């Protein structure tokens, strides 16, 4: 007679120690990967514009990286479900590294289609950075998932802020080393993603997802290993709270990207110079990331759903301020800061709620679908926002976003009140 498999013995102290190490490794990879993404896309639209001679085609540079992040979300999740977080993150960063190499070659060959293809793979860096936040929750104690997730999200602030400022020095160094002008930033990004890959493969041990499955007694459970989308949808049908959290993440990201992408255009048309536009966007990015640990703490203490509702309220306030700003730069700036804070609430609380609502063996599939929908909605949001501003006005965009987040908040809250009654 064979005895049933037993869960591995591990003390609370050892689990805390391993989780601290995991958070440190993921944060380091997030910083390096964030630098790689920021440097790689800082000049992408400019380079595509120069190679193609078309402003319209240059707009596809940002779309390419977003599309790449969406396309690589599921393979990253599938690899994590099959072999652990280390395999999933390694796949994403390897794709980004390959994309940077292709981009350097494309600039040398002066081929904008080849460059766009490279930028699609560069989007793997974004897929990896998004997946890292979920890896932070695998070993989190109950009631700490949002806090731990938010620390990894916060770490991306460093890369997001520092990255664009490194593009010009990287270009100068690249030229000195014999690269074609504007190929240097992509070569630098390749080095950054290579370093992120080394950090993940060398230091993310033990693998947090595999260890969590061992502790839960579900190692080798099969559903999450194959047919990622099917597994995710089957899980969401039986866990409505996870489905609602996934929708809140998508709505938050769509609202943020829609308003943020059109704000520089609005400010430029109003006569603001590039320095003012840069300051506004920098404050917006600070709103997105700087207070994420506070958001995580609040989500664990007050609850994920109340923080999601707070996020929708902040996004509504941002849309209202943006839509009624007229030519007021100060009001637009306040709107963008609120927009970033609302996005942070939606991403941190929503991601933590997805994680806590889904069985561990199915988490990678649902988390991968969440990142896929998040990126698809973000890309769609930029296109629709551009059409609204072109056909109507920036104020109309604010109204549309305000209606969307209000309906989402009502959809989240009303069923809970009905269940309570």
Domains of the chain, start order: 10-215 (1.20.1250.20), 223-421 (1.20.1250.20)
Burial bucket for residue 22 (CB in 10 Å: 0-12, 13-18, 19+): buried
pLDDT in tens, 358-383: 998 899 999 999 999 999 998 888 88
48 with 154: CB under 8 angstroms? no
The answer to whether the beta carbons of residues 119 and 44 sit under 8 Å apart is yes
The whole-number pLDDT of residue 260 equals 87
Q: Give the pLDDT band (50/70/90) at residue 3.
A: very low
Report pTM: 0.86
The two tokens of residue 60 are 């596809």
Q: Which residue has the higher pLDDT, 190 or 217?
A: 190
Q: What are phi and psi of 76, to 5 degrees?
A: -65, -45
What angle in degrees, to the nearest 10, is found between the helix axes of 292-302 and 329-357?
50
Q: What is the pLDDT of residues 382-397, one digit of tens each?
A: 888 888 988 899 999 9
More confident residue, 165 or 300: 300
- Residue 417: what pLDDT? 57
Q: What is the pLDDT of residue 13?
A: 73
Does 11 have pLDDT greater than 80? no
Q: Is the pLDDT of residue 220 over 80?
A: no
Tell me what pLDDT residue 387 has. 87
* 3 state SS of 31: helix
Nearest CA to 405 among 226, 269, 252?
Answer: 252
- Contact present, 98 and 216 (Cβ < 8 Å): no
Span 31-44, pLDDT tens digits: 999 888 888 776 78
Average pLDDT score over residue span 325-344: 93
Residue 255 has pLDDT above 80, yes or no: yes
Q: What is the pLDDT of residues 86-128, one digit of tens each?
A: 999 999 999 999 999 999 999 999 999 999 999 999 999 999 9
What proportion of the chain, given as a percentage, has pLDDT over 70?
Answer: 93
Going by C-alpha positions, the residue among 344, 126, 191 that lies closest to residue 256 is 344
Q: Is the pLDDT of residue 321 over 90?
A: yes
Other CB atoms within 10 Å distance of the CB of residue 415 = 13
Q: What's the chain's length in residues?
A: 421
pLDDT of residue 218: 66
User: Are 65 and 44 in contact, with CB atoms under 8 Å apart?
Assistant: yes
Listed in sequence order, the DSSP H helices in 43-84 are: 44-52, 55-58, 60-83
Cα angle for residues 78, 79, 83 (degrees, 5° grid): 125
């Amino acid at each position: 007679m064979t005895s049933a498999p037993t869960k591995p013995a591990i003390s609370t102290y050892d689990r805390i120690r391993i989780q601290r190490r995991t958070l440190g490794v993921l944060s380091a990879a997030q910083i390096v990967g964030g630098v790689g993404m920021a440097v790689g896309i800082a000049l992408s639209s400019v380079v595509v514009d120069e190679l193609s001679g078309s402003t319209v085609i240059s707009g596809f540079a940002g779309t390419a990286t977003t599309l790449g992040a969406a396309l690589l979300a599921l393979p990253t999740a599938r690899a994590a479900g099959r072999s652990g977080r280390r395999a999933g993150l390694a796949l994403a960063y390897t794709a980004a590294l390959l994309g940077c190499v292709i981009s350097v070659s494309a600039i040398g060959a002066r081929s904008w289609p080849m460059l766009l293809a490279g930028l699609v793979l560069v989007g793997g860096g974004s897929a990896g950075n998004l997946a890292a936040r979920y890896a932070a929750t695998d070993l989190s104690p109950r009631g700490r998932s949002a806090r731990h997730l938010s620390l990894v999200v916060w770490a991306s602030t460093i890369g997001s802020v520092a990255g664009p400022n490194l593009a010009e020095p990287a270009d100068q160094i690249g030229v000195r080393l014999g690269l074609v002008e504007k190929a240097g930033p992509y070569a630098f990004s390749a080095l950054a993603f290579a370093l992120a890959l080394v950090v993940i493969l060398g230091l993310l041990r033990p693998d947090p997802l595999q260890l969590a499955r061992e502790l839960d007694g579900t190692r080798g459970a099969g559903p999450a290993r194959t047919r990622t989308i099917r597994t995710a949808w089957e899980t969401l049908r039986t866990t409505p709270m996870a489905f609602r959290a996934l929708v809140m993440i998508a709505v938050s990201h769509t609202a943020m990207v829609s308003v943020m992408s059109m704000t520089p255009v609005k400010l430029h048309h109003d006569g603001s110079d590039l320095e003012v536009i840069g300051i506004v966007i920098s404050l917006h990015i600070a709103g997105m990331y700087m207070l994420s640990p506070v958001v995580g703490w609040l989500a664990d203490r007050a609850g994920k759903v109340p923080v999601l509702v707070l996020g929708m309220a902040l996004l509504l306030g941002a849309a209202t301020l943006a839509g009624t700003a007229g030519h007021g730069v100060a009001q637009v700036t306040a709107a963008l800061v609120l927009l970033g804070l609302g996005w942070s609430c939606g991403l941190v609380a929503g991601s933590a709620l997805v994680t806590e609502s889904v069985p561990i063996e199915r988490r990678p599939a649902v988390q991968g679908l969440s990142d896929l929908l998040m990126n698809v909605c973000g890309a769609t949001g930029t296109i629709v926002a551009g059409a609204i501003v072109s056909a109507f006005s920036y104020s109309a965009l604010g109204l549309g976003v305000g209606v969307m987040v209000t309906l989402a908040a009502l959809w989240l809250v009303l069923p809970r009140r009905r269940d309570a009654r």
